[in-house]
Every structure is written in C-alpha cells, then in structure tokens.
Amino acid sequence: MKRWIPVLLLAGMPLAHAAPGEAVYEDMDVLLQQKGVISRLSEQLQQVRENMGASASNLVVNAMGFLGVPYSYGGNSAETGVDCSGLVRTVFEQSVGKILPRRAVDQAAATETIDRSELKPGDLVFFNTMKRAFSHVGIYVGDGKFIHAPRSGSSVRVEDMRVAYWHTRFNGARRVPLQP
C-alpha cells in the first residue's frame, strides 16, 4: 500500500510521494499547505522537541509517521493498518522498546494514573466510546491534542481533546513507566 509520509513534511523537507503521478497525494499536499496545516504541525513538533526529552520526542514523531494510515480492527502496522491500541502498542515498541498489552483496557491497567492537568507529550489518553471505560486510547501530543486511530473507514489523525465529543468521553490519563 502506498501512503503519504507526513513526517517528511513535518521536518520541513521537500514533499515526498510513494509513487510519481499520484494526483490525490499532490492535491492533499497543496491543500494542507494552503490551509497552513503543515506549518502549524511543524511548529507543534518543534514545541514538542523543546519541551520534552528525547524519548518522548521520538515517540511523538514516530506516532506522527502513522498519520493517514487506515484504521484496521486488530491491526498493528503501517502496512496493514492499525486500531487505537495497536497504534499505541506499535509506537511504544518502535520508539522506546516498551511492549504494552494489546487492548486499551489492559494498557490502562498497565500504566500509571495521572491527572489530566499533568499530561505531557507521549502520555496516553483514554476515552469511553463504547459505553465502557477505557474502550479507546490515543497518544497525547501536547496543546490539548492527541493522535489516534478513530474507527473503521477512517485513518490515524490528530484531534483536539477539548471538543465536546472527546471532552465528555474522556475517562483517564496514564503515563507509561519507561524504567523496567
């Protein structure tokens, strides 16, 4: 599967595509530049790098590399797609070598509870989206935003936790202990 690689855009590098002549991706790049999304994400990434340690920065950058990857129930790779907990598990394993449980509820149980006011980039945010606690998980990227794989038919994206939908369903923040 060919996909757009947003990390290159975030790093301020020239636009890159999976294959020449893919007008859809070129149109997407133009639209994102016109709307100022690329510059805002680049600024946020720079803030993340300045405000946190190297491992958290690498973790967020790695997570951003999954932007646009399609949702796939039970998925855990950029090639085949990811679901919410698969995204979290894969990003932590690739970025810091930490292997988390597969399901969101188990990830919540295996991590340290923190207050919402203590959130830092790289922390996990949990939501009740299926009438049960910890049914959805994402990675906090800073400035009230998180990256996640929302649902079937969509793809990995960044969203604002302060919008009504996410705000009312928020049910916990967790920090992944990186020491053994």
pLDDT digits (tens, 9 = 90+) for 86-96: 999 999 999 99
- Write down the pLDDT at residue 61: 92
- Write down the pLDDT at residue 120: 94
Domains within the chain, CATH numbers bracketed: 6-175 (3.90.1720.10)
More confident residue, 48 or 88: 88
More confident residue, 75 or 6: 75
Query: d(Cα 164, Cα 16) in Å, to the nearest integer?
Result: 35
pLDDT digits (tens, 9 = 90+) for 2-44: 344 444 334 443 333 344 444 555 666 666 666 676 676 666 6
Q: Which strands sit side by side in the sheet containing 157-160, from one edge to the other?
A: 112-114, 170-175, 124-127, 136-142, 145-148, 157-160
Tell me if 63 sits within 8 A of 139, measured CB to CB: yes
Active site residues: 84, 136, 148
In degrees, to the nearest 5, what angle opens at C-alpha 69 toward C-alphas 143 and 142?
Answer: 10
More confident residue, 110 or 19: 110
Residues 6+ apart with CB under 8 A from 18: 2, 3, 4, 5, 25
- Write down the pLDDT at residue 165: 97
